[in-house]
A and B are shown apart, each in its own frame.
Chain A
Amino acid sequence: MLENQKAVEPIGELFQSPDVEAAREFFREKSRVMIDKRATVQEAVARFIHDGDYIATGGFGSVRIPTAVLHEIVRRRKRNLGFAGHSTTHDFQILAAGGVLDRCDIAYIVGLELRGLSPNGRRLIESGAVRTTEWSNASLAWRIKAAAMGIPFLPARVLLGTDTERFSAAKEITCPFTGQKLLALPALFPDVAIIHVHQADIYGNAQIEGVSIIDYDLAKASRRLILTTERIVDTDTFRKRPGQTSIPYWLVDAVCHVPYGSYPAEMPYEYTSDEEHLSAWIEAEKDPAAFEAFLEQMIYSTRNFDEYLQASGGSERLARLRELEPLKRE
């Protein structure tokens, strides 16, 4: 498809401005006060997620995702959201189900790793209803890192020469020191990020256990940050072992206490994934009418995440998933 050795001129749409001066103006006004930020999921979504916003999720698709907030976005029928699709699987599946997206940066969507492909996610993207721009896991991670650093781009050595580059919104540049050809990746400042953590205090100091994926950079890069947490703990927990703080409070806008908040995705050291329930999603998605009924029953007619947990198996199943989790604390 590509002509030999010509520079690629990417044609993808850049959804978020990499303007670092605008970002600084926003962050200048962001509160640094240590105040109680506890909120219900309903309150946090109403306050911080607006139609048209560009959002990003922490975790990795089927691992440590903020399911409760994603459900609430769908339940509130938000519209025209942008989304950072970095290895997103069940999180993308939920947003696709709600039809809440109109644009998406893609590193990995529609796929469910070894579980297959999402039939509804495929229909959505194949229909052309969502504008898309191509990236990769590293390029999206570094775009978010550039924003976290407060610089407009980071150079990298990926995507060069591929169609992924052509359908991205990156630009080829030449290194001023070595003459090396590089790809400039524009900083990505999401309007809102949502990250599920193991424990947090009421101010938003938070700890993630297991791999952190891109979440610390994502927390820094995002204008607003909603945390959902398995547990609320005292601030002393962090003061005693500050090396274990994954996200400091001043990045955080809301703290929502949501036990089992990653369900049906897994939460390392807490509970494993509910494969039966994830299969039920894929099965329901095969037939649009059946899927509509499934969503009505599971999301639109449930009032909150607790009711979803009850509808999908309840406490007995959750206890079983906890037993099956392979990572155990010492």
Chain B
Amino acid sequence: MTKAIPAAQPQTQRSQPYTLMELMICAAAHQLEDGKTAVIGTGAPLAAAMLAQKTHAPNLIILFEAGSMAPILEKLPISVAGSHTQTHALKHSSMDDIMEACQRGMVDYTFLGGAQIDRYGNLNSTMIGGDYARPTVRLPGSGGASDLAALCWKTVTIMPHNRRKFVPAVDFITTPGYLTGPGAREAAGLPRGSGPYKVISTLGVMGYHPESKCMQVESLHPGVTREDIIENTGFEMLFAGDLQITAEPTAEELRILREEVDPQGKIIQK
């Protein structure tokens, strides 16, 4: 039933062709504000943060959960603890220090991935299957994700959009979204006012309905229809009243991504 994902190929009236990953990275970068703090994982989230830093958010403070504080990144890191996360940092600190900054309320954004997401933005990165003791597929577990989504103000998730990933109920809530709906995070004891903010998928950019806390599409990627979203989502997806088309990457964004952020194409060619 899943339809081939469109928009991977260049379309008419476009100055330059771009990959779907490039579009997603640019859309993710646009979510980050200048002068704010963000704990970032490797891969597409980091490419987005680097792009934001080199375009509209030069004073974005990047933090890594292993302890690097405000580095100036030269090369895309493979590990969130590696030397490439630590170049020209203001402080080489520790994991407890970064996580405690999040718990104090000093960290604005975090960018995460996951194997499954539900309508409330709950994420699974622990296991696929029905029995915890004998999983069909064992995945890594929380890492820092559950902590960061609990403690940072806004959580942005980047993931492919299909029915295996956008599911009615995740097999395991590794990382809290809005849990069971409005008020559930606060009732559980999680910090007030924090929570899922955006999802950047291969089909569109989603936010959450202010009252119901259910995921809703805010913009469709160029060439994607509502039907594509519905077909590829395992739960009832809402659509915002003023549904937009995701902004295409500008020539300058593409140049920076290809020449400065990821010259080897490790992420953007995926």
CB contact under 8 A between A61 and B95, given known A109-B140, A109-B141: no
Residues of the B chain whose Cβ atoms lie less than 8 Å from the Cβ of A117: 139-140
A108 contacts partner chain B, Cβ-Cβ < 8 Å:
yes
Q: Write out, one digit per residue, whether chain A residues 58-79 have a CB within 8 A of any chain B CB (1) or not (0).
A: 0111111000000000000000
B241 contacts partner chain A, Cβ-Cβ < 8 Å:
no
B215 contacts partner chain A, Cβ-Cβ < 8 Å:
no
CB contact under 8 A between A211 and B93, given known A2-B180, A5-B187, A113-B79: yes
CB contact under 8 A between A125 and B96, given known A1-B173, A326-B74: no
B4 contacts partner chain A, Cβ-Cβ < 8 Å:
no
What is the size, in residues, of chain A's interface with B at 8 Å between Cβ atoms? 72
B175 contacts partner chain A, Cβ-Cβ < 8 Å:
yes
> Which of A60, A136, A139, A172 is most buried by chain B, counting CB atoms within 10 A of its CB?
A136
Flag if B132 contacts A167 (CB, 8 Å): yes
Per the bound structure, the CA–CA distance linking A107 and B147 in Å amounts to 11
Q: Write out, one digit per residue, whether chain B residues 143-179 have a CB within 8 A of any chain A CB (1) or not (0).
A: 1111100110000000000000000011011111001
Per the bound structure, the CA–CA distance linking A92 and B187 in Å amounts to 36
Residues of the A chain whose Cβ atoms lie less than 8 Å from the Cβ of B36: none
Residue in A145, A180, A181, A268 whose CB lies within 8 Å of B96: A145
Residues of the A chain whose Cβ atoms lie less than 8 Å from the Cβ of B150: 157-160
Of the listed stretches B12-20, B65-73, B232-240, B252-260, name the one at the interface; the rest are far from the partner chain.
B65-73
Residue in B68, B188, B191 whose CB lies within 8 Å of A211: B68
- Minimum Cβ distance to chain A for residue B88 (Å): 10
Of the listed stretches A37-45, A196-204, A212-220, A310-318, name the one at the interface; the rest are far from the partner chain.
A212-220
Residues of the A chain whose Cβ atoms lie less than 8 Å from the Cβ of B56: none
A141 contacts partner chain B, Cβ-Cβ < 8 Å:
yes
Flag if B83 contacts A134 (CB, 8 Å): no
What is the size, in residues, of chain B's interface with A at 8 Å between Cβ atoms? 65
Per the bound structure, the CA–CA distance linking A215 and B195 in Å amounts to 30
What is the predominant secondary structure among interface residues of chain B facing chain A? loop
Residues of the A chain whose Cβ atoms lie less than 8 Å from the Cβ of B102: 138
Residue in B42, B143, B151, B185 whose CB lies within 8 Å of A114: B42
- Minimum Cβ distance to chain B for residue A274 (Å): 12
B210 contacts partner chain A, Cβ-Cβ < 8 Å:
no
B136 contacts partner chain A, Cβ-Cβ < 8 Å:
yes
Residues of the B chain whose Cβ atoms lie less than 8 Å from the Cβ of A89: 79
What is the predominant secondary structure among interface residues of chain A facing chain B? loop
Per the bound structure, the CA–CA distance linking A209 and B93 in Å amounts to 10
Residues of the A chain whose Cβ atoms lie less than 8 Å from the Cβ of B78: 62, 113-115, 273, 275
Residue in A8, A266, A327 whose CB lies within 8 Å of B87: A327
Q: Write out, one digit per residue, whether chain A residues 138-171 have a CB within 8 A of any chain B CB (1) or not (0).
A: 1101100100000000001111111110010000
Per the bound structure, the CA–CA distance linking A139 and B184 in Å amounts to 21
A106 contacts partner chain B, Cβ-Cβ < 8 Å:
yes
Q: Tell me which residues from 109 to 147 in chain A have a Cβ below 8 Å from any Cβ of chain B.
A: 109-111, 113-115, 117, 121-122, 125-126, 128, 134-139, 141-142, 145
18 contacts between A and B (CB under 8 A): A1-B169, A60-B66, A87-B81, A107-B141, A111-B139, A113-B79, A117-B139, A125-B135, A136-B143, A138-B144, A156-B103, A160-B150, A213-B95, A214-B95, A266-B79, A268-B86, A269-B83, A273-B82
Residue positions of B touching A, CB distance < 8 A: 42-43, 64-68, 74-75, 78-87, 92-96, 99, 102-103, 122, 126, 132-147, 150-151, 169-170, 172-176, 179-181, 183-185, 187-191
Since A8-B188, A137-B143 are in contact, a sample of 4 more A-B pairs with Cβ atoms closer than 8 Å, ordered by chain A residue number, is A62-B81, A109-B141, A126-B135, A183-B189
